């Protein structure tokens, strides 16, 4: 193999690996989505919470939200597909709606206000970033002793010679 061919082959391999890595960064980005069935105030107007919303993702019910309740879902990628079974009022008819929401790449935790979304409000109204209290307040360090699958913890290792 000539030197040029070898160099080209190596560069090609590097480019392919970089391309796969870039794809994985986009495709595999995980988000925690919090689904709110809460009254939303926007531009001086109030959008009330609905009586009941059942949320289904990939054929599985992930949340049953009554008024003022919050549900949680995880999603890999930037497209969030869910099916909502909405009951607007008590003893009212249930209607089904499938929705697709684009999630921003930069946000880890996202709050979706479902009544706001269903009213057709802009994204800034129904979507906001969830910031965990652990991020803002310093949490105590987890001092769980590290242990591998062989059952050797740092404590065991220290204790062993003494025995």
Partner 1 sequence: MKNMSFGQKVLTFIRDNTVPIMFVVICAICIPLSGFSFSYLLNEIITRMGRNIFLILALLIPIMSGMGLNFGMTLGAMAGEIALIFVSDWQIWGIPGVVLAMILSIPISVLLGAFCGKILNMAKGREMITSYIISFFMNGIYQLIVLYMMGSIIPIKHFSVKLPRGYGIRNTVSLLNMRQCLDNLLAIRIKGVKIPVLTFLIIALLCVFIIWFRRTKLGQDMRAVGQDLNVARDAGINVERTRIISIIISTVLAGFGMVIYLQNMGNIATYSSHSQIGMFCIAALLVGGASVDRASIGNVFLGVILFHTMFIVAPKAGAQITGDSMIGEYFRVFVSYGVITLSLIMYETKKRKNKSLVGQQLAMDQLSEEAK
Interface pick for partner 1 out of 3, 28, 58, 161 (rule CB under 8 A): 28
- Say whether residue 61 binds partner 1 (CB under 8 A): no
| Contact call for residues 112 and 40 (beta carbons, < 8 A) | no
CB-wise, 1 or 93, nearer to partner 1?
1
For residue 85, the cross-strand partners are: 54, 96
Quote the distance between the C-alpha of residue 136 and its chain's center: 19
Interface pick for partner 1 out of 144, 158, 161, 162 (rule CB under 8 A): 144
Number of residues that bind partner 1 (CB under 8 A): 35
- Say whether residue 17 binds partner 1 (CB under 8 A): yes
Structure token pair of residue 132: 């965990």
* Residues whose CB is less than 8 angstroms from the CB of residue 36 and which lie 6 or more positions away in sequence, other chains included: 65, 69, 70, 111, 112, 113, 114
- Say whether residue 66 binds partner 1 (CB under 8 A): no
Interface pick for partner 1 out of 11, 76, 94, 95 (rule CB under 8 A): 76
Structure token pair of residue 69: 């309740």
- Say whether residue 59 binds partner 1 (CB under 8 A): no
Min separation Cβ 22 and partner 1, Å: 9
Give the whole-angstrom CA distance, residue 99 versus residue 80. Answer: 8
- Say whether residue 161 binds partner 1 (CB under 8 A): no
Min separation Cβ 16 and partner 1, Å: 10
| Contact call for residues 83 and 77 (beta carbons, < 8 A) | no
* Residues whose CB is less than 8 angstroms from the CB of residue 130 and which lie 6 or more positions away in sequence, other chains included: 32, 34, 107, 108, 109, 110, 111
Interface pick for partner 1 out of 98, 149, 158, 162 (rule CB under 8 A): 149
Binding region for partner 1 (CB under 8 A): 17, 20-21, 23-25, 27-31, 74, 76, 108, 132, 134-135, 138-144, 146-152, 154, 156, 160, 163
């Amino acid at each position: 193999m000539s030197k040029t061919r070898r160099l080209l082959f190596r560069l090609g391999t590097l480019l392919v690996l970089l391309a796969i890595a870039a794809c994985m960064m986009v495709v595999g980005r995980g988000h925690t989505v919090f689904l709110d069935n809460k009254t939303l105030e926007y531009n001086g107007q109030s959008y009330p919470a609905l009586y009941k919303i059942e949320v289904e993702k990939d054929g599985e019910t992930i949340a049953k939200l009554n008024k003022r309740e919050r549900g949680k879902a995880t999603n890999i990628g930037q497209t969030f597909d869910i099916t909502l079974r909405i009951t607007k009022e008590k003893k009212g008819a249930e209607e089904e709606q499938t929705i697709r929401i684009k999630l921003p790449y930069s946000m880890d935790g996202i709050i979706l206000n479902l009544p706001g979304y269903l009213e057709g409000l802009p994204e800034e109204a129904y979507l906001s970033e969830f910031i965990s209290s652990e991020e803002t307040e310093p949490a105590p360090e987890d001092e769980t002793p590290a242990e591998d699958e062989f059952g050797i913890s740092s404590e065991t290792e220290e204790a062993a010679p003494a025995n």
